[in-house]
A and B are shown apart, each in its own frame.
Chain A
Amino acid sequence: MQAVRIAGAGSTAFGASPERTGRDLFGEAARIAIDDSGVPRAAIDRLCYGNFVGTVTERQGHQAPLMAKAAGVTAPATRYESACASGGVALKSAVEAVRSGAADVVLVGGMERMHNVTTERATEGLAMAADHLYESRAGVTFPGAYALMARAYFEEFGGTRADLAAVAVKNHRNALGNDKAQFQTEISTSDVLEAPTVADPLGLYDACPITDGASACVLVSEAYAEENNLDAPIAVTGAGQGTDSLALQQRDSLTRTPATTTAATAAYDEAEIAPSDIDLLEVHDCFTIAEVLALEGLGVYDRGAAIDAARSGETTRDGDLPVNLSGGLKAKGHPVGATGVSQVVELTKLLRGDHVNSAAVPDASLAVAHNAGGTVASATVHVLEVRS
């Protein structure tokens, strides 16, 4: 099995750019990642590309060939779709392609463009991540589904909206100075608590924004990096994926995300690590409650124990275990199909020392990325480690 290194990483600015086409956004992210890697385009063996609602927002199916040409790549290209985990599953396939020896160099990335349609249309597109017959038809929106999970969590373990607000405040603070982030502004607890309700108990500031953007990484085999004298100090040492029932009603518990745990267990086993070895994480905080559920599913907190992790300071920039130093989906933004790759772009820079927040984790050597689709019916976990 070939060991996997990240040779290059890059993202577009995240935010509202309705006039920019998907092909333009992905072309930019790919160009940045390829330039960062020092790998010639002709060496790329395949493209793994994540996208969720492009068939709705751009009326564009069959995007992989389009994106390959946008990146200037002639290699075979495939689009991966697992809702908000589209980028994560594309990444896992890219890792597997290098490990197996099927490829020495893989361009992996994702893109989403949503501001070119109305908020209602984008919301409708995102709701397609839920069970159409049993959830969407009954009025469940994407925020509504997480609101159902949040209330169930409060009932089972306690916790308050102020606890969740601390997650939003933390992640906005982390995005200050991240020039790729959609929101580079601080918010207060009262801003979160007084924001309009989206689906009670969740308000507007409990939710990540609608985001346009793209991210990409160049993965190479360790042998290729050595033969070509690439500066690629970050290794992907673990990759895992989990699947759960699409509909919340089919699950044993509304406060557990077993797909996350399945993905984490597989990734930790491959990397031969324990949760206590993790120095920092990027987790899928599409809503504030989602960060809480992720930290418990990943095994870094016991069940019912992560609700006050942000409020107590444990997961803040200066805490024992910084979470979402990029700003997370909440403040960095959530270009859905790109997010799973975007998390790894941010962690790569954080570990290499060229991220605006690298100073917060000067001795970090092991990071975990967690990407989730829908209400975590899909999840991926990747372990990144610093190598010489």
Chain B
Amino acid sequence: MRDQRADGYDDLLDALESDAGYYLSCPAGHGSLPPRQVCPTCGDDELSTEPLPDTGTVVTFTEVAVPAPAFAGQTPVVVIADFGPVRLTGRLLDDPDALEVGSEVVPTVASSPDGSRHVGARLASKR
């Protein structure tokens, strides 16, 4: 597959790389992640860009012992963290020993061995 940018998604990753993460919000306050033409919850097409909170709280996580081919030979740790209006799924880039439900994480950008970018997370306590 060509290494083609995905509008909205890669824009968010660029912003996370610059510590300027954001999410989309509709007038009713439903949060979502780009790209979006309308709010996925209520369909409103008035979407504003709002700053993502600096840290999120881990609500669940797993260490994947049998990974997808892109992570062959690794055991990626994936967290879902609550940032208030939105949640983000990200790959933990720190040692998971201190990870627990309730841990605070900072969103960032990660790359898999095949070079594709995705949302990453670092433990706030290790910053």
Contact = CB atoms under 8 A, between A and B. Distances in A.
B71 to A, nearest CB: 5
B66 A199 contact: yes
Contacts of A135: 89
A202 B64 CA distance: 10
Nearest to A151: B60
Nearest to B8: A133
A140 interface: yes
B124 interface: no
A254 B119 contact: no
Interface residues of B, number: 37
A201 B65 CA distance: 11
A17 interface: no
Given A143-B66, A198-B65, A200-B65, A148 B78 contact: yes
B90 A138 contact: yes
B85 to A, nearest CB: 12
A139 B91 contact: yes
B6 interface: yes
B20 interface: no
A254 B101 CA distance: 13
A245 B40 contact: yes
Interface in B73-126: 76-78, 80, 86-91, 101, 110, 112, 116-120
Among A124, A200, A254, the one with the most B-chain Cβ atoms within 10 Å of its Cβ is: A200
Contacts of A250: 32-33, 40, 87
B6 A133 contact: yes
B15 to A, nearest CB: 15
Contacts of B76: 138-139
A151 B68 contact: no
B27 to A, nearest CB: 19
A144 B89 contact: no
Interface in A105-127: 120-121, 123-124, 127
Instruction: Give the interface size bracket for A toward B.
Output: 35 or more
B6 to A, nearest CB: 6
A20 B119 CA distance: 40
A141 interface: yes
A152 interface: yes
Interface string A135-160: 11111110110011101100100000
Given A247-B89, A249-B88, A250-B40, A139 B61 contact: no
B51 interface: no
Nearest to A254: B60
A293 to B, nearest CB: 14
B29 interface: no
Interface in A202-254: 202, 245, 247-250, 254
A153 B119 CA distance: 24
B112 A144 contact: no
A197 B65 contact: yes
A149 B119 CA distance: 19
A72 interface: no
B112 A137 contact: yes
A254 B59 CA distance: 9
A124 B112 CA distance: 15
B86 A144 contact: no
Among A123, A139, A151, the one with the most B-chain Cβ atoms within 10 Å of its Cβ is: A139
A144 B78 contact: yes
Given A134-B119, A144-B78, A254-B80, A139 B60 contact: no
Interface of B: 6, 9, 32-33, 40, 59-72, 76-78, 80, 86-91, 101, 110, 112, 116-120
14 contacts: A134-B118, A137-B117, A139-B64, A139-B67, A139-B118, A141-B68, A144-B62, A144-B78, A149-B60, A197-B63, A198-B64, A201-B62, A248-B80, A254-B59
